[in-house]
Structure 1
Amino acid sequence: MIELTHKTQTQTFESATLTLPWEKRIKSRQRVILDNKDEAGLFLERGQILRNGDVVSSDDGFHVKIIAAHEQVSTARAQTPRQLNLACYHLGNRHVDLEIRDDFVRYPHDHVLDDMVTGLGLSITVEQAPFEPETGAYGNGHHHHPH
């Protein structure tokens, strides 16, 4: 089994690719199947998040490019910045992972959340797309703090 132990900061030639959804890209230790069907293990420093285009490597120079899988998401578009801000506020209050852009907010599809956001005046498109949510104010890791 290929052991992928670290992110590579420099541009390298990839030996393979690995397509993962968001929920798998936040796990630093797991067994995976590369896109070419080879078995590999991720043994990264805890708390590392894999983004689309990142490259992870083995100690012997095997490089794997990470690809964000298409997954079912809701993409909400607003007519005004205030509408978009309100949607982000209310979704954030529900601790929903959010991908926030200048012209839309995206979150894992949920019809109840879609109804809430539609009620705020935004239009919703349910689609298959890569999901790249914000990591939060505390940096690159996945943190949980008691309230």
Structure 2
Amino acid sequence: MTAPPISARAYSDHCHSTVPFGTVHLDYDARFLRRKVLQLDDGRPLLVDLPKTTSLGHGFALLLETGEEVHVFAAPEPLLEVTGDNLARIAWHIGNRHTPCQIEGDRLLIQRDHVIRDMLAKIGAATREITEPFTPEGGAYGHGRTHSHAH
């Protein structure tokens, strides 16, 4: 018989402990959760049961009932690296489609999408397939994700 999963019912937007109870690497979509059994990096099960659906960022901590922490990290995932002469214009077009985007000084990162890739080529952007952790910008009206125009 397997042991029941460890339980986390809260989170923090940053890690406090230097030696965590455990760690978990999740891609962008998997970091959006409310109730789910996750597998820690060492294989132990962790039941996450948060009061509401939450977007966990890279460097967040899940808080165990014991007061210990599980550190959350962004896992590498398939992305498109976007570059071009006018990144501000390119970023506007990506944002206009409500596509999550990681903004860096000389490039933008988005999840792979052939439709967005075609649109970007039409406006002069260059794209390259890469695999890296994805930590896109949060919503302009607070932390987390935006899903509609109803801000």
TM-score, scaled relative to structure 2? 0.84
Could you say what secondary structure the match of 1:96 adopts?
coil
Q: Equivalent residues in 2 for 1:1-147 (5 A)?
A: 1-8=5-12, 9=14, 11-12=16-17, 13-79=19-85, 83-145=86-148
CA distance in 2, matches of 1:104, 1:56: 31
Identical counterparts, % of pairs: 27
CA contact (8 A) 1:48 1:140 kept: no
Decide which structure has greater strand share.
2
Runs of 4 or more consecutive aligned structure 1 residues displaced over 4 Å after TM superposition: none
Structure 1 unaligned runs (5+)?
none
CA contact (8 A) 1:47 1:141 kept: no
**Where in structure 2 are there 5+ consecutive unaligned residues?**
none
